[in-house]
Amino acid sequence: MSSDTVRVRFAPSPTGFLHVGGLRTALFNFLFARKTGGKFILRIEDTDRTRYVEGAVENLIKTLHWAGLEYDEGPIAGGDYGPYVQSERTDIYKKHIEILLEKRVAYRCFCTPERLEQMRKEQEKKRLSPKYDRRCLLLSEKEVQDSIASGKPFVVRMKVPEHVPVRFSDIIRGEVEFMSDRVDDQVLLKSDGYPTYHLANVVDDHLMKISHVIRGEEWLSSTPKHVLLYEFFGWELPKFAHLPLLLNPDRSKLSKRQGDVAVEDYRAKGYLKEALVNFIALLGWNPGDEREIFTLEELEKEFSLERVNKSGAVFNIEKLNWLNFQHLRRKPDTEVLAMLKEYLTHSQNSLQFTVHSSQFDDQYLLSVIGAMRERVTFVKDFVEKSPYFFQAPKAYDPAVVKKRWNQQTPEHLKVLVDEFSQLVSPQKKDYEAALHRAAESSKIGNGGLIHPLRLAVSGMGEGPGLFDIVLILGKEETIRRINLAIERIK
């Protein structure tokens, strides 16, 4: 396939936030373009003015940029086939409607919304599929012209041929066939002069030289209408590929009712773009082997439409969390440090930091990252799972107190404080040796000090290596916290 033939597009409607299903469609188009050396185009389908949301276009572009999906042509970027916003192309659609009317493969419909509603109700009573009954197709040319002259509002419908098979090839699904009797006389131009999705989509795909239409399975039933329009205009069909549905774990269609579906929701929760892109790539596609962790660059090399499945893809949040953990682990310390500093500066976390600010220098934070790296899934976990690195504990886990703290513990810890006080520039091994000496002189096992010490410095019963915590906190802070615990824990 030569690089000048592959042109794919992502064509979202600006109706709010970007759905994860939309991000997957964008990603698969982007990967296919990069793999084949083709062009990835962003087109804004904003002809449904009733659903238009102010600022949604800017948000879409910002979200694609965050995910690393840079488009080659589109709003702001420009290109040879613009404008790339459909509301700026209405004259183009009107010209093409005239072509269809002249060919008599489309007709004007003057039916009122009330009449159409009544028709639908009667069809439902008779258990018929809802379809326009073609009343206006029977109007004479004079009746049509008189209605136009009197200012009667109208839409333009396509005239679907009767009793013919409509066939097309789908890269994912193979040969697909619909009988035309199942296809409604679709509205192509609304009474407000704006085209419907179906007309604008086909006209734009042709004029923008789109070679492959890669979109969600929900558009499969609309494709016969599009195929017929290509035939009416005498245009060559693009290649189609309909991606599998995204499903909740109960195999219902992914929806807001069962959890977050907007990319922005996941971003706000601290998911890394690398993890989200990796996860979404695996929703319906696989590399043909056991690999699961990919960078965007690796996906560009590996991706193929032939390895996209037909069956629905389950959105498994545990898998996304695991991928976030894996990608965070792989990041260099300097990058994690920058993200942690950003979080500490801007987050609305629940902690009121009381530790002296000098302890938050880069070296201190890098030590925290080193201690916690294998225990965190999100950057926020460095704070949420180990708050003791940022403030002395305000409370102590009662279950650990009950199990690990007894009447003799304060006296034993005072011996440990004496040992720690004598250390000069201690390293981890020095703290260990000091604890061992304190345990010996108190005639108890090391565990009799290790567990209370962990409780005193962290308020918890588990976490990274105890002596790693002590080393990071430093001698003075560790002693201060032991004395606080002696005072507070009864």
> Comparing C-alpha atoms, which of 254, 217, 288 is closest to residue 25?
217
Burial class of 345 by CB neighbour count within 10 A (0 to 12, 13 to 18, 19+): exposed
pLDDT tens digits for the chain (490 residues)? 344 689 999 999 998 899 999 999 999 999 999 999 999 999 999 988 888 889 999 999 999 999 999 999 999 999 999 999 999 999 999 999 999 999 999 999 999 999 999 999 999 999 998 999 999 999 999 999 999 999 999 999 999 999 999 999 999 999 999 999 999 999 999 999 999 999 999 999 999 999 999 999 999 999 999 999 999 999 999 999 999 999 988 888 887 655 668 999 999 999 999 999 999 999 999 999 999 999 999 999 999 999 999 999 999 999 999 999 999 999 999 999 999 998 988 765 555 554 334 458 999 999 999 999 999 999 999 999 999 999 999 999 999 999 999 999 999 999 999 999 999 999 999 999 999 999 999 999 999 999 999 999 999 999 999 999 999 999 999 999 999 999 999 8
pLDDT in tens, 189-208: 999 999 999 999 999 999 99
Distance CA 156, CA 185 (A): 9
Tokens found for residue 446: 């090391």
pLDDT in tens, 332-379: 999 999 999 989 887 655 555 543 344 589 999 999 999 999 999 999
Q: Are 242 and 219 in contact (CB under 8 A)?
A: yes
Task: Indicate the CATH number of 7-86+246-314 among 3.90.1150.10, 3.40.50.2000, 2.130.10.10, 3.40.50.620.
Answer: 3.40.50.620
Q: Which of 256, 269, 301, 429 is catalytic?
A: 256
Burial 106-123 (b: 16+ CB within 10 A, else e): bbbbbbeeeebeebeeee
Q: What is the pLDDT of residue 348?
A: 54
**What CATH topology corresponds to 89-243?**
Rossmann fold (3.40.50)
Query: pTM for the whole thing?
Result: 0.91
Domain 89-243 and domain 398-488, same fold? Reply is no
Q: What is the pLDDT of residue 349?
A: 53
CATH code for the structural domain at 398-488: 1.10.10.350
> Comparing C-alpha atoms, which of 272, 273, 264, 255 is closest to residue 315?
255
Let me know if 256 is a catalytic residue. Answer: yes
Q: How far is CA 107 from CA 150, 158, 160, 161, 425, in A?
A: 18, 7, 11, 13, 89
**In the chain, what are the domain boundaries?**
7-86+246-314, 89-243, 333-386, 398-488
Distance CA 406, CA 403 (A): 8
